Amino acid sequence: MSEMILNAEIRENSGKAEARRIRRAGRVPAIIYGEIDKPTSASIEAHELKMLLREKHAVIDLSLSGDVHRVIVRDVQVHPVNGSVLHVDFMEVKKGQKIVMSVPVRFEGTPKGVKLGGMLDIVKHEISISVLPKDIPGEIVVNIDELDIGEAIRVSDLAADDIELMDELNDVLCRVAVPRGPEEEETEEDELEGDETAEPEVITARDKEESDE
């Protein structure tokens, strides 16, 4: 992820009506918090923000009222229908100070176990890391071509020099499940058929008399 400069304007007013007005003007409501004195309400040009999010920049130089703040995107609210950005949170970061954040994990390739009939089970789509702002990755790519049936990739397999893994090292990221064999399917079907075809026990009047005795 690279760095870029993003221009922001301070918002004097807040509330839903003001947010709607800002969006109609082609801008996105935002808030900046972190090293600054207090959270600051701002707005960002919508197209500029869209390009930033598409390119997955790590550290952003946010220009606000003549001051430049180094920030990262902390949260993005997206419209559930049209996908437009409704609101964005920026967190100011301090140079040389690590931050804890979640980054997406992208699985690349086709496991050989899947080619043999296994099923790929993705357990985690992102992990938590502690990292310097300059080293924040846009995503962590994991090649799964060699993953065989019954094998798994765990957090510990992602060890890298420039990031600290915050999740449990034994947590599973993905695995190839053992395929369900035909014998197992036939056994279950046979059991069901057996239950359906089994004849009920007939109790005669003589049996009942002997039981009473």
If one looks up domain 4-94 in CATH, what number appears? 2.40.240.10
Distance separating alpha carbons of residues 16 and 136, to the nearest angstrom: 33
pLDDT surpasses 90 at 50: no
The letter for the amino acid at 40 is: T
β-pair partners for 170: none
The tokens of 75 are what?
């949260």
The letter for the amino acid at 22 is: I
pLDDT surpasses 70 at 3: no
pLDDT surpasses 60 at 173: yes
Return the pLDDT at 165: 93
Mean pLDDT of the chain: 82
Confidence band, pLDDT 50/70/90 cuts, at residue 208: very low
Q: Which residues of 124-161 are buried (b: 16+ CB within 10 A; e: fewer)?
A: eeebebebebeebbeebebebeebebeebbbbeebeee
Q: What are the residue ranges of CATH 2.170.120.20 in the chain?
A: 95-213
Return the pLDDT at 2: 47
27-49: pLDDT as tens digits: 999 999 876 567 889 999 999 88
Residues 6+ apart with CB under 8 A from 110: 144, 145
| DSSP tag of 179 | P
Return the pLDDT at 118: 94
Sole residue written with tokens 């020099």:
161
Q: What are the residue ranges of CATH 2.40.240.10 in the chain?
A: 4-94
Confidence band, pLDDT 50/70/90 cuts, at residue 156: very high
Return the pLDDT at 37: 60
Q: Provide the percentage of residues in the chain whose pLDDT is more than 90.
A: 40
Confidence band, pLDDT 50/70/90 cuts, at residue 160: confident
Of the two residues 163 and 210, the one the predictor is more confident about is: 163
Asked whether the beta carbons of 28 and 21 are under 8 A apart, the reply is no
| DSSP tag of 202 | P
Q: Specify the CATH superfamily of domain 95-213.
A: Ribosomal protein L25, C-terminal domain (2.170.120.20)
Confidence band, pLDDT 50/70/90 cuts, at residue 129: very high
Distance separating alpha carbons of residues 72 and 213, to the nearest angstrom: 86
63-114: pLDDT as tens digits: 988 888 888 888 899 999 988 899 999 988 887 888 888 889 999 999 999 9
Regarding pTM above 0.85, the answer is: no
Q: Determine if residue 184 is left, alpha or beta; phi over 0 gives left, psi from -120 to 50 gives alpha, anything else beta.
A: alpha
Closest alpha carbon to 158 in 133, 134, 124, 132 = 124
